[in-house]
């Protein structure tokens, strides 16, 4: 029977890299970030609702959502962020549910790639949760390098999310990404072997 796996992590933990590797191994990926963009794409009912709530300036000259304008509003006004979530979240859930069901109907295992899975209390919507883990100090270092941020700004982004160590205690399986990309790949493949999704290299050698 196909399984639904929730893949999550924290900012700069390497979740996107793990999703790409899982896709190579044949898993079907349902991406929350992609669904969020589709929910307010040009000409969509979702974008029309955003315009009604946030005004004409919420739409740029090309007819897309003015993300800088809307982002500035919701960042500074929590009640406006709730209003935006009330528009976007139901549409995102509908898009993801439809995509997930198509894969399940075809007998395929599905990865639900959800960055804020624990923050939004969605762990009960999946069969199990896989967490991409690294330490907070590594998260901060990677963010500073990747986004050219000061240490203060990097810390603010990391600390705005649930602690990665708390998430680790809540997850069913942990994929360690504190070292190199090669070691991340090996750690993931070890989990896939343990869960029966991948044959171990030892078994391959025995069958030759």
Q: What is the pTM of this model?
A: 0.88
Q: Which residues pair with 160 in a beta bridge?
A: none
Query: What percent of the chain has pLDDT above 90?
Result: 86
pLDDT-derived band of residue 106, with 50, 70 and 90 as boundaries?
very high
Q: Is the pLDDT of residue 203 over 80?
A: no
Q: Pick the range with the lowest mean pLDDT from 27-41, 73-87, 135-149.
A: 73-87
Mean of per-residue pLDDT scores for the chain:
93
Domains of the chain: 1-27+109-202 (3.40.50.300), 37-107 (3.40.50.300)
Tokens, residue 187: 């750690």
Check residue 150 and give its pLDDT. 93
Q: Is the pLDDT of residue 69 over 70?
A: yes
Q: Which residues are annotated as a binding site?
A: 12-17
Q: Which residues are annotated as a binding site for ATP?
A: 12-17
Q: List pLDDT tens digits, range 20-40.
A: 999 999 999 999 999 999 999
Rounded Cα distance, 61 and 69, in Å: 13
Rounded Cα distance, 67 and 57, in Å: 10
The average pLDDT across 102-130 equals: 95
Rounded Cα distance, 96 and 170, in Å: 23
Quick one: which of 21, 48, 49, 44 has its CA closest to 130? 21
Quick one: which of 50, 132, 43, 37 has its CA closest to 83? 50
């Amino acid at each position: 029977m196909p399984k639904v796996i929730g893949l999550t992590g924290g900012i700069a933990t390497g979740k996107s890299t793990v999703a790409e590797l899982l896709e190579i191994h044949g898993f079907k990926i349902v991406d929350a970030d992609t669904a969020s963009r589709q929910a307010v794409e040009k000409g969509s009912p979702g974008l029309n609702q955003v315009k009604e709530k946030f005004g004409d300036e919420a739409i740029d000259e090309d007819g897309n959502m003015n993300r800088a304008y809307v982002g500035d509003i919701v960042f500074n006004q929590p009640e406006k962020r709730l209003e935006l979530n009330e528009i976007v979240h139901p549409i995102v859930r509908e898009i993801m549910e439809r995509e997930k069901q198509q894969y399940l109907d075809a007998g395929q295992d599905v990865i639900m790639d959800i960055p804020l899975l624990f923050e939004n209390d969605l762990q009960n919507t999946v069969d199990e949760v896989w967490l991409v883990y690294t330490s907070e100090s590594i998260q901060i270092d990677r963010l500073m390098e990747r986004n050219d941020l000061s240490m203060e700004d990097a810390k603010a982004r990391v600390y705005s999310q649930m602690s990665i160590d708390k998430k680790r205690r809540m997850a069913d399986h942990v994929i360690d990404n504190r070292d190199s990309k090669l070691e991340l790949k090996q750690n993931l493949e070890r989990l896939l072997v343990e869960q029966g999704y991948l044959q171990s290299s030892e078994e391959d050698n025995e069958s030759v």
